[in-house]
Structure 1
């Protein structure tokens, strides 16, 4: 992996967390978000962007906490 990698994290008013990964390709985006996903809650939706299917970019993950 080369270049800048960024996580864009958005928390909605109802507590839903969205994570967008930029600058990573393939499954490396999963590695970048794994610890955050595990510490916040349950992944309820995962959208893999086209760059996921390249050799190593971005993924959109939505997480909700279990209350």
Structure 2
């Protein structure tokens, strides 16, 4: 994981959990937080940021072509 990539987890007093992945692009944010979703249970809502729609800077062109 790059040093500028991190995951914030917030738990409200009511027990609502918010997970925010910073510094990830494309679907790497979902890959990085998958373990939390599996452990915490049912996902209520997913809100994708503009970084999700940016191309992953770490993939080579062959990987990108295989995923499309």
More helix by share: 2
More strand by share: 1
Is residue 16 of structure 1 aligned with residue 25 of structure 2? no
Q: Distance in 1 between matches of 2:33 and 2:2?
A: 17
- Structure 1 residue ranges (4+ consecutive) displaced by more than 6 angstroms after TM superposition: none
Q: TM-score, normalised by structure 2?
A: 0.75
Gaps of at least 5 residues in structure 1 are: 57-67
RMSD of the TM alignment (CA)? 1.5
Q: How does 1:31-42 map to 2 (within 5 A)?
A: 31-42=31-42
Q: Distance in 2 between matches of 1:16 and 1:3?
A: 28
- Residue 65 (structure 1) aligns with: none
Q: Distance in 2 between matches of 1:3 and 1:19?
A: 18
Gaps of at least 5 residues in structure 2 are: 57-68
Higher relative contact order (CA 8 A, sep 6+): 1
Q: CA deviation at 1:2?
A: 5.1
